[in-house]
Amino acid sequence: MPRQPRLDAPGLLQHVMARGIERRKLFRDDKDRESFLERFAIILEETQTQCYAWALIPNHFHLLLRTGPIPLSKVMRRLMTGYAVTFNKRHKRAGHLFQNRYKSVVCEEDAYLLELIRYIHLNPLRAGLVKDLQELDKYPWTGHSAILGRSKNPLILEVSDPKSEVSSQKAPSAPSAESGLFFQFRPETEKDNKNQRNQRNPPAPLNRVPFQGVQPGCQKTSLAEKTIEDILLHFGETKRAAIKRYREFVEKGIKQGIREDLQGGGLVRSAGGDAAGLLGRKAEEREKGDARILGSGDFVMQALDRANEVFERCINAQISLDELAKRVTKDKGVDLKELISSKRTEKISNTRAIISYLAGMELKNSGKDIAEYLHLSEKSVSRCIERGKKLIDNDEKLLHYAQ
């Protein structure tokens, strides 16, 4: 059965996972992890994508993202292609780094946001990378320690050079519990602390005031800082109390172990991984399932509707094959007549390859249409697409021609 297209629409919460090819390591050492996170931080800020949770395991990673105006596919392509090029150069290797394409599951926020944050952040403990929660509290390769303020948050950019794909600046120290950077929290009081001591379960989401930035004299708040604030506001109205209750919430998740119901989509998983959990539902409700979505039947239908609307707008707005060819040939200094000629210089062949790949894989033109436009056989177009993929894997900026 062919794979279903991914679902995407601005504002959807998505659990994203990717593995190394043949389950090989994606991160061989801390320098690899730093390289990945530096690139990730820039992409998040530039695309206005929020990351609520993340964990780097040697042969895979987990992310919990809410996309902004830029589609998830473009965010992940920039991240994975760019990192793969850097990884291959550093370790003097060639070929694919990731196993197939990334996996993404659209998640119902009210039911799963906090559960997924906890589940993702406990991954290093389940994988045996840390021995207990105390060690996880300081572990730098998951977002848990940044939420607690125990380590620097690598997703916060101190200075970003727009001319550089990866900033050379390190993240600033994480704000302390008394920091004024989190403007929406009420001031800490002894009464607040006493009231929170015996409360163990996270409350329902609070009624929040619109985010207004930081207090006068503080540095500009980044999206990564605001995202941590959003998380903690689910646990309390003062930062110190919220951090305490967040940690207690994470600690309770340790005994839950591997949760099958959080690892994929569909109504069976939403029912706790047990199909019997659906027996009490109406027939039409049981049918509202989709393996790409983690949530109730109503949410499944809403997510599908939103994704279909975005897909239709993208199809209507995409450029034509002729416009794509004009963009690429103009930039590469190739005449359109040369493009469809029998010439086989490296410059012309590379231009054909880039156009073939982008036309087929990004703009979804058929092989027959591409072949007719370029005056090639469909077999030749297939070879051009393979060549184009290698060129684009080494230079992700070539993707901009199709945007």
CATH number for 125: 3.30.70.1290
Task: Point out the domain boundary residue: 316, 338, 355.
Answer: 316
**5: in domain:** no
Whether residue 216 is predicted with pLDDT greater than 70 in this model: the reply is no
Split into its structural domains, the chain has a count of: 3
Largest CA distance in the chain: 81
Whether residue 259 is predicted with pLDDT greater than 70 in this model: the reply is no
Task: Point out the domain boundary residue: 271, 292, 316.
Answer: 316
**350: in domain:** yes
105-150 pLDDT, tens digit per residue, is 888 777 789 999 999 999 999 999 999 999 999 999 999 999 999 9
**3: in domain:** no
Whether residue 212 is predicted with pLDDT greater than 80 in this model: the reply is no
Judge if 180 and 39 occupy the same domain: yes
**391: in domain:** yes
Judging by beta carbons within 10 Å of its beta carbon (0-12, 13-18, 19+), is residue 30 exposed, middle or buried? exposed
Judge if 362 and 376 occupy the same domain: yes
Judge if 202 and 224 occupy the same domain: yes
The CATH code of the domain that includes 334 is: 1.10.1750.10
Which residue, among 286, 234, 296, 239, has the nearest Cα to 265 in the 3D structure? Answer: 296
Q: What is the mean pLDDT of residues 69-88?
A: 90
Judge if 205 and 111 occupy the same domain: yes
Pairing between strand 60-66 and 103-107? Answer: unpaired
**2: in domain:** no
Q: Name every residue whose Cβ is closer than 8 Å to that of residue 190 and which is 6 or more positions away in sequence.
A: none
Rounded to the nearest angstrom, the gap between the alpha carbon of residue 285 and the centroid of all alpha carbons in its chain is: 30
Judge if 75 and 153 occupy the same domain: yes
Judge if 287 and 228 occupy the same domain: no
**Which range has highest mean pLDDT (104-118, 272-286, 295-309)?**
104-118
Task: Point out the domain boundary residue: 208, 236, 256.
Answer: 256
Judge if 18 and 124 occupy the same domain: yes
Q: Is 130:136 a contact under the CB 8 Å cutoff?
A: yes
**4: in domain:** no
**146: in domain:** yes
Pairing between strand 13-19 and 60-66? Answer: antiparallel
Judge if 142 and 244 occupy the same domain: yes
* Cα angle, residue 68 at apex, residues 61 and 356 outer, rounded to 5°: 75
Task: Give the domain range for residue 289.
Answer: 260-316
Judge if 170 and 265 occupy the same domain: no
**139: in domain:** yes
What is the rounded average pLDDT for all residues in the chain? 76
Question: Which residue type is seen at 174?
Answer: A
- Given this model, what pLDDT does residue 157 score? 80
- Given this model, what pLDDT does residue 296 score? 53
Judge if 379 and 290 occupy the same domain: no
The token pair that represents 248 in the structure block:
């207690």
Judge if 102 and 74 occupy the same domain: yes
329 or 286, which is more confident: 329
Judge if 55 and 200 occupy the same domain: yes
228-257 pLDDT, tens digit per residue, is 999 999 999 899 999 999 999 999 999 876
Q: Is 64:51 a contact under the CB 8 Å cutoff?
A: yes
